[in-house]
Chain A
Amino acid sequence: MSAEAHAHGHADGHGHHGHGHHDEGFIKKYLWSTDHKMIGFQYMFTGMAMALLGGFTVYAFRMQLAFPGISVPGYGRVTATDYNALVTTHGSVMIFWVAMPVLIAALGNYLIPLMIGCDDMVFPRLNRLSYQIFLISAIVLIASFYVDGGAFGGAWTSYPPLSAKAEFSLTPKGSTLWLLAVALEFVAFLLGGINFVTTVMNSRAPGMKMFDVPIVVWMIIIASILFMASVGPLVAGAVMLLFDQQLGTGFFDPAKGGDPVLWQHLFWFFGHPEVYVVLLPAMGIVAEIITVFSRKKLFAYKTVLYTAIGTGVLSFFVWAHHQFIAGIDPRMANIFSVTTLLISIPVAEMCFVYIATLYGGSIRLTTPMLWALAFIGEFLLGGVTGIFLGASGADIYFHDTYFVIAHFHYTFFPIAFIAVFAAVTYWFPKMFGKHMNDTLGKMHFWGTIISFNFIFIPLFVLGARGDHRRIYDYRHFPDLMKPGMQDLRILATVALLVLLAFQVVFLANFIYSLFKGRKAEANPWNANTLEWHAPSPPPHGNFPEGLPTVHRGPYEYSHPDRQDDFWPQHLAGDARSAQS
């Protein structure tokens, strides 16, 4: 954690409102900070550390699938118990402790005050508390590996009765710790979400009207509201499941008048909006980057906004498509099949808008731009394969096969990694005042993208051929050991190893650039949004020359009346409105 601190702290111009924080000690500055940027970094580095854990678990279980029974280097033999715990941890960690903290908490914390032109979040101490609870949740999750019976292995969806009773799961403590960790994580993000929403509603720079707010900020806010509105029932469900586990109640136990399917409803009522909770910020990042590097105004700003809101609203009515064959009334599947396919319309429209933005541009294929474009290209495949699963008749076959896994990794990998790499490479100069190395960046990009496709295209094929999920050794199933199937599993695993190896390039680039990178000026990309008006890196209080005033929308690139091809939001001047 001290690494970024050096780079961050050296330009110690204090805020105009004089917090008087110059000489604070190490702990106060890096661990007990209330500064939104530092909290953003805390979330980012914790998320990156958890991504290493998520990566390690997938390495261990993919090795077992490709070469069943071998002793995996660095792990050992993967037993059936281990395998379940590894896949459960991989899923939980990547969604709750990587995608959520990095996309929403880290970028939200870092970007919101800078992009709306104020000095901090409205509740800095609440913000600090939110991170601390999040950190505890991560520790609780890791601790669950070291208790009797080991970590929970009932999948990240944690369906009861398996998750509710120790006699079924055989992880008496692991399942409770898992549940506790997830619940704490929810509390952290609820606090963070309230802070984000209140900040953006109340503390925008003077002159920044609703449609002058950068799309990424809008997206984080819509995502935070979606999260708040959807997580409540699952919090209630978590309390009920905890009581079932520890006190012997029977909320999910049919023998006592409960219903196991209730948990599935509570879980997916949250779980499906959750997909859009992480998708929307990623879409926002991409909007910022493609406009800057194609020097174009965003095509139909309001349409993007409305499709995001439409997606958010619709996402509350699709949850049961995870349960088509779960024993719900089959007539319900028809309704949810309709809503599920309808949600493809706003999401597809968002992709169309981004593609249309490229038209007539002056496209520069920098590293962040490559990542942003790759997001669109890859996410499209994730999106269209969802249609197979939303179509109830086809889902009877595809449900719980590797086709599903490949589908959601084509959405989640672009969200949690491609968009995040886009964001990190784009905002790195602002965050740390240094440029990243471009050669290493491009090497990392191509290595990651190519190997990513080689992991998941084989999984589509395997899923279509009947491979079902969460099986530690396919040799028990003769139909799944037909010629060629094991080769595809090996191909996916080898591609995974290549992908993991290329992340070393990223880490090396990150650390190298932090210390030895070329020094970055305030606005290296000639971008419009307010964060580029602040020095790189921004000091405590963000804008040493006074908080900015906003005069126009965020995407006034290549305006015909201007010599420059960009027009920063804070510059006074002809107030020809952004919406003209």
Chain B
Amino acid sequence: MLEHYLESASTFSGDIDNLIIMVAVIVGFWFLLAEFVFIGLILKFKAQPGVKAKYVAGEDPKEKRWVAWPHYATLIFDVMIIVAAIRVWHHVKQEMPPADETVRVIAQQWAWTFVHPGADGKLDTADDISVVDELHVQKDKTYHFELLSRDVLHSFSVPVFRLKQDAIPGRVIKGWFKPTMTGQFDVQCTEICGIGHGIMPARIIIDTPERHAQWVAANTTGGAAPQNAGGTK
């Protein structure tokens, strides 16, 4: 349903979509049922001359079950949703599968700096590639990210991955993703961060390993860090 509107490009984006669909089916059913009963009652019991309303206190268990049964149903479906939600949450936010590569994401007013590990696959070495507003990753590799902020709160959101995480100054927040398709997509800042919040777009470029290797090679010259666009290490 969702992927019809927005590509599903990470290993867990499908899980999140399925959770959303599950919730939609459950609450959609109950919502429609409640509205149906509600509107039905209004139409059925419209005032008619000479017909007095019933006198129902609603304290008798026999009457109360009209409320009690839906109440228990709510509880049961709540539990189902909770279980599904926590499973997805645990997978996305609590588990960290081993990384093939780690990238550093630095947010500031109002730009993103993405530090790629370069050819040696390690951060904080001479061949790191820092790029402003462009994150280059490869399909089918597991990435860890280290999220930092230089000033205020920001939020690193990649809608096609269904991934979102706030950046907090003074902390390094870790997370992961694994792209499953190639293409170029939006990265957004989704936490208000001042007057430039609306002009803080970035792009994520997911390539095949070969094309990605070409990009790394093109941006590496003999061990030096050429494109030090973000002004970071």
Q: Which residues of A contact B (CB under 8 A)?
A: 80-81, 83-84, 153-155, 159-162, 168-170, 254-255, 260-261, 294-303, 324-327, 330-331, 333-334, 337-338, 341-342, 344-345, 348-349, 351-353, 355-365, 373, 376-377, 380-381, 384-385, 387-388, 390-394, 396-401, 464-466, 468-473, 476-480, 482, 557-560, 565, 579-580
Give Cα A400–Cα B163 distance, bound, in whole angstroms: 12
Check B62 for interface membership: any CB of A closer than 8 A: no
Proximity string of chain B (1-37) to chain A, C-beta cutoff 8 Å, 1 when within and 0 when not? 0100110000000011001100110111011001101
Q: Contacts A297-B55, A400-B190, A469-B190 given: A161-B86 contact, CB under 8 Å? A: no
> In the complex, are the beta carbons of A297 and B166 less than 8 A apart?
no
7 of the cross-chain contacts (CB-CB < 8 Å) are A170-B194, A325-B165, A326-B168, A344-B74, A391-B85, A393-B88, A470-B192
How far apart are A501's CB and chain B's nearest CB, in angstroms? 27
CA distance A473 to B197 in the complex (A): 10
Chain B 186-206 interface residues, beta-carbon cutoff 8 Å to A:
186, 188, 190-199, 201
Q: Given A168-B194, A353-B67, A393-B84, does the pair A384, B201 have CB atoms closer than 8 Å?
A: no
The answer to whether B30 and A384 have CB atoms under 8 Å apart is: yes
- Which residues in B have their C-beta under 8 angstroms from that of A338? 82
Which of B38-46, B115-123, B135-143, B220-228 lies on the face that meets chain A?
B38-46
Q: Are A363 and B46 in contact (CB under 8 A)?
A: yes
A162:B152 contact, CB within 8 angstroms: yes
Q: How far is the CA of A303 from the CA of B65 in the complex (A)?
A: 12
Are the C-beta atoms of B197 and A470 separated by less than 8 Å?
yes
A83 CA / B188 CA spacing, docked (Å): 18
Q: What is the distance, in angstroms, from B159's C-beta to the closest C-beta of chain A?
A: 4
For A155, the closest partner residue in chain B by CB is B192
Q: Are B16 and A394 in contact (CB under 8 A)?
A: yes
User: In chain B, what residue has the closest Cβ to A330?
Assistant: B93
CB atoms of B6 and A384 under 8 A apart = no
Q: Is the CB of A388 within 8 A of B20?
A: yes
Question: Contacts A162-B153, A327-B173 given: A362-B52 contact, CB under 8 Å?
Answer: yes
Residue of A nearest to B80 (CB): A341
Query: Measured between C-beta atoms, what is the minimum distance from B98 to chain A in Å?
Result: 18
In the complex, chain A residues whose CB is within 8 Å of the CB of B58: 297-301, 303, 353, 356-357
> Pick the contact of A384 from B19, B31, B64 — CB < 8 Å?
B31
* Contact B195–A466 (Cβ < 8 Å): no
At the interface, yes or no: B212 with Cβ under 8 Å from chain A? no
* Additional A-B contact list (8), CB under 8 Å, known A345-B78, A385-B27, A401-B190: A295-B52, A300-B64, A301-B57, A349-B74, A359-B41, A400-B157, A465-B5, A466-B6
Across-interface contacts of B173 in A (CB, < 8 A): 327
Kindly state the separation between the CA atoms of A353 and B59 in the bound complex, as whole angstroms: 11
Which residues of B lie under 8 Å from residue A302 when comparing CB positions?
A: 59
Q: Which of B42, B57, B63, B201 contacts A373 (CB 8 A)?
A: B42
Which A residues are CB-close (under 8 A) to B19?
A: 391, 393-394
B195 close to A170 (CB less than 8 A): yes
Contact of B34 among A81, A300, A355, A476 (CB under 8 A): A355
Given contacts A337-B82, A356-B58, contact A377 B23 (CB under 8 A): no
State whether B168 touches A254 (Cβ < 8 A). yes
Q: Chain B, interface size: which category?
A: 35 or more
Inter-chain contacts of A327 with B (CB < 8 A): 165-168, 171, 173
A391 touches B23 (CB 8 A): yes
Residues facing A in B41-84 (CB within 8 A) are: 41-42, 45-48, 51-59, 63-64, 66-67, 70-71, 74-75, 78, 81-82, 84
Residue of A nearest to B43 (CB): A363
The binding surface of chain A is classed by DSSP as helix
- Whether A352 pairs with B70 at a CB distance below 8 angstroms is yes
B67, A161: Cβ atoms closer than 8 Å? no
> CA A558 – CA B64 in complex, angstroms?
20
Taken together as a complex, chains A and B put the C-alpha atoms of A500 and B197 apart, in Å, by 28
B71 with A558: CB separation less than 8 A = no
Closest to B184 in A: A478
Q: Which of B20, B47, B201 contacts A477 (CB 8 A)?
A: B201
* Residues on the A chain within 8 Å of B109, using CB: 168
Distance A348 CA – B70 CA, assembled complex (angstroms): 9
Q: How far is the CB of A204 from chain B (nearest CB, A)?
A: 22
**B89: interface (CB < 8 Å):** yes
Tell me which of A155, A159, A345, A356 has the highest count of chain B C-beta atoms within 10 A of its own C-beta: A356
Interface contact B198-A473, CB-CB below 8 Å: yes
A338, closest chain B residue (CB): B82
Judging by beta carbons under 8 Å apart, are A260 and B159 in contact? no
Q: Collect the chain B residues with CB atoms within 8 Å of residue A351's CB.
A: 34
Give the docked Cα–Cα distance between A304 and B54 (Å).
Answer: 19
How far apart are the CA atoms of A106 and B95 in the complex, in Å? 51
The answer to whether B164 and A399 touch across the interface, beta carbons within 8 angstroms, is: yes
Question: Which residue of A81, A254, A387 contacts B81 across the interface (Cβ within 8 Å)?
Answer: A387
Report chain A residues within 8 Å CB of B233.
none
Chain B residues near A261: list those with CB within 8 A: 168
Least CB distance, A508 to chain B, in whole angstroms: 28
Report the separation of the CA atoms of residues A348 and B37 in the bound assembly, to the nearest whole angstrom: 14
Q: Are A300 and B170 in contact (CB under 8 A)?
A: no
Other-chain residue from B151, B164, B193, B198 in contact with A83 (beta carbon distance below 8 A):
B198
Report B144 CB to chain A, min CB distance, Å: 15
User: Once bound together, how far apart are the Cα atoms of A325 and B109, in whole Å?
Assistant: 20
Known A161-B151, A261-B168, A393-B89: A476·B52 in contact at CB below 8 Å? no
Task: Enumerate chain A residues within 8 angstroms of B55, measured Cβ to Cβ.
Answer: 297, 557-560
Is B159 in contact with A254, judged by CB distance below 8 angstroms? no
Are A381 and B168 interface neighbours, CB within 8 A?
Answer: no
A352 touches B168 (CB 8 A): no
Contacts of B37 in A (CB 8 A): 355
Known: A296-B53, A356-B66, A387-B23. A341 touches B46 (CB 8 A): no
B211 at the interface (CB under 8 A from A): no
Tell me if B113 is interfacial: C-beta within 8 Å of chain A.
Answer: no
A471 x B42 contact (CB < 8 A): no
Expressed in whole angstroms, the Cα–Cα distance for A359 and B85 within the complex equals 36
Given B28, B163, B198, which contacts A80 in the complex, CB threshold below 8 Å? B198
Q: Is the CB of A579 within 8 A of B199?
A: no
Contact A360 B56, beta carbon cutoff 8 Å:
yes
> CB within 8 A of A397: which of B20, B67, B74, B152?
B20
Q: Does B104 contact A (CB under 8 A)?
A: no
Report the Cα distance A255→B149, complex, angstroms: 12
The reply on B230 being an interface residue by CB < 8 A is: no
A381 touches B47 (CB 8 A): no
Task: Assess whether A159 is in contact with B153, with CB atoms less than 8 Å apart.
Answer: yes
Q: Cβ of B47 and Cβ of A363 under 8 Å apart?
A: yes
Cβ contacts under 8 Å, B24 to chain A: 388
Q: Closest CB-CB distance, B26 to chain A, in whole Å? A: 8
Q: How far is the CA of A9 from the CA of B51 in the complex (A)?
A: 40
User: Are B186 and A480 within 8 A (Cβ)?
Assistant: yes
Is B155 part of the binding interface, using a Cβ–Cβ cutoff of 8 Å? yes
> How far does the alpha carbon of A164 sit from the alpha carbon of B88 in the complex, in Å?
35
Cβ 8 A contact of A381, one of B31, B171, B185: B31
From B92, which residue of chain A is reached at the shortest CB distance? A396
Q: Are A345 and B53 in contact (CB under 8 A)?
A: no
Give A355 to B56 CA distance when docked, in angstroms.
Answer: 13
List A contacts of B34 (CB < 8 A): 351-352, 355, 380
A348–B38 Cα distance when bound, in Å, is 13
Chain B residue nearest in CB terms to A349: B71
Of A169, A260, A301, the most chain B CB neighbours within 10 A belong to: A260
